[in-house]
Amino acid sequence: MSDLEALKTEKQALIDKMLEMQQRFIAHEHEHGVGGRDYWAAGDGPLAGYRQEYMDTANRVVDLAHQIVGSSRI
């Protein structure tokens, strides 16, 4: 597998992870509701760390996309 193919594979795996995270979030929201405190300041429970993990994953996807096409984020 070439470096470019490895980057594309990693990017797709992260996109799949993000989609799964979204599905779990939506299911939780429909079942339990989600208030601002739950989303922005969840200390524990199913949403603890969700925002940070999702943001980190999304940022990695953007970085990989730029790497794949040879562009810069800035």
Distance, CA of 60 to CA of 62 (rounded, Å): 5
Residue with tokens 């603890």: 48
66 pLDDT exceeds 80? Answer: yes
Confidence band of 41 (pLDDT split at 50, 70, 90): confident
Burial per residue of 45-60, b for 16 or more beta-carbon CB atoms within 10 angstroms, e otherwise: eebeebeeeeeeeeee
pLDDT, the chain, mean? 92
Find the DSSP H helices in the chain.
3-32, 36-40, 50-69
Average pLDDT over residues 28-38: 88
